[in-house]
Structure 1
Amino acid sequence: MPRIPLSITTPSDVQVGLWRMDESEDEILHANPSLYSLLPDISSMKSQTRRLERLAVAALLESMFGQAVPVEHNDAGRPFLDNGYEIGISHTRGYAVVIVSKKHNVAVDMEYMNDRVMRIARRFLREDESLTTVKELLLCWCAKETLYKLHSDDRLAFQEMRTHGIRNDGNLEGRFTIDNLKRGITVEMSYLSTQSYILTIAVEKKS
């Protein structure tokens, strides 16, 4: 399936691409022949889901740049591209999402809409975060995962991040903020909420 258009608002140089992984490996390879070059790397993966995630990310990048763009990782595990663009990647059940930018540091997280988050809330909530609904908790979880990726060198713990302005409203798209308490700075989060998933992104001007 081609990438799905997203309504989430970003700066003009930031691109966000979403792929619904409803094809088989053979189907996605047939539609994107350049991805056959990935077979030596993914053939050792036992998980079909992991292989599809790699292929979906590669297909998204090809649709964004018009050519195959390999993904590398630094020592902290953060992905990067050799073409000078910053990149963020996330996967959840049946979906892959990629965000890229030339001028900004970027990160993204995506989670399937599921009430399991209520059972693990104590793992990531602070005492001063009064969040109770599935949507609120998923937004908090995604935001902390996103900030962890954005500031990967800080290796932030959940208690070192604090969200503000998360509400269980009817909005499909919105914004709130999150503190990196290690640095003493606040980062704005943008989110997209659907019946299937929650997605948060962070965009930070390069220093």
Structure 2
Amino acid sequence: MPLIHLEEVAKETFFGLWKIEETPGELEKQLQLKEHELLVLRSLQGEKRNLHWLATRVLLRKMLSTDDYIDCQADENGKPVLINLPHQISLSHSYDYAAVMISRDKKVGIDIEVIKDKIDRVKHKFLNNYELNFINQEHKLEHLYACWCAKEALYKLNGKKETSFKDNIRLDAFDYTETGKISSRIEKDGAKMKHYTVYYRKFENYMLGYVNED
């Protein structure tokens, strides 16, 4: 299936969604994979992981609108980076969807998750007491996933492995609606506190969160 949604969220900053209906072989034919990328692809266990890896790269290619080879690799912290292009990127996937965010000059982060009951069992691992207390019990799962996607998007933007969801990424209280925004910040010892606005939206049974530097 082609790109199903493309949205400009800031100047030269976009996110896109791709619904995965192809086979791994069909997706791979749309890419120009080098040996180091084929090694990564072959190391993935299971067809779903192959589909996710391939779909994010196909979507990245569509959004950049180029026939040239795109060298997408992971840096020392595991953050995807483009070796031969100036853009900042973030990749995500969940079940039947792939999501990509691109900016020419801003750090970005994106996360997509299917909404499942299991998040209620682990909420204390990524939310502090203040954040737990503002969760709307009537829309508990959706509110928790909005928080998770926001923190995951901020984690990806920050790009540092030692960043703790619970201790370093803080969300201000917000009322849950199906589309909204969250004032947030990243606090780390010895580093200047940075403030962000994370946007989220629910579609089908998924939650999407995305953020870019101002």
TM-score (norm 2): 0.84
Given the alignment of the two structures, is residue 190 of structure 1 paired with residue 187 of structure 2, yes or no?
no
Q: Which residue of 2 aligns with 1:22?
A: 21
- After superposition, give the CA deviation of every residue in 1:22-73 in whole Å (9 maximum; x if it has no partner): 221133345x264697545423323211211121112112211223412111
Give 5+ residue unaligned stretches, structure 2: none
CA spacing shift, 1:15–1:93, aligned 2, 3 Å: same
SS at structure 2 position matched to 1:57: helix
For residues 150 and 29 of structure 1, the distance between their equivalents in structure 2, rounded to whole angstroms, comes to 27
Residue of structure 2 in register with 1:139 after alignment: 146
Match status 1:5 vs 2:12:
no
Alignment partner of 1:106 out of 105, 108, 124: 108
Supply the AA of the counterpart residue of 2:186: N
CA distance in 2, matches of 1:11, 1:54: 26
**Partner secondary structure for residue 76 of structure 1:** coil
Offset from partner CA, 1:53-99 (integer Å, 9 cap, x none): 12111211221122341211111111111201000011111211111
CA distance 1:105–1:116, change in 2 (3 Å): same
Matches within 5 A, 1:17-96: 17-30=16-29, 32=30, 34=32, 39=38, 41-65=40-64, 66-67=66-67, 68-82=69-83, 83-96=85-98
Q: How far apart, in 2, do the equivalents of 1:35 and 1:74 lie?
A: 18
Note the residue ranges of structure 1 that are not aligned, 5 or more in a row.
none
Shift of 1:123: 1.0
> Normalized against structure 1, the TM-score is what?
0.87
Distance, in Å, in 1 between the alignment partners of 2:170 and 2:15 is 25
How far apart are residue 199 of structure 1 and its match? Answer: 0.8
Q: What SS does structure 2 have at the residue aligned with 1:188? A: strand
- Provide the C-alpha distance between the structure 1 equivalents of 2:34 and 2:48, rounded to a whole number of angstroms: 17
Contact between 1:140 and 1:166, CA under 8 Å: does it hold in 2? no
Over residues 121-163 of structure 1, what are the superposed CA-to-partner deviations in whole Å (9 max), with x where a residue is unaligned?
A: 1111111112141111001111111111111237221222221
Pick from 160, 181, 186: which aligns with 1:180?
Answer: 186
Instruction: Note if contact 1:113-1:195 (Cα within 8 Å) is conserved in structure 2.
Output: no
Identity %: 27
The code of the aligned residue for 1:72 comes to: Q
> Deviation digits for residues 2-35 of structure 1, max 9, x if unmatched?
111156x6103012111111221133345x2646
Tell me the distance in 1 between the aligned counterparts of 2:124 and 2:116.
16
CA RMSD of aligned residues (A): 2.1
Q: State the Cα deviation string for residues 107-129 of structure 1 (Å, max 9, x = none).
A: 11111111221111111111111
Distance 1:21 1:35, change over 3 A: farther
Structure 1: which amino acid aligns with 2:3?
Answer: R
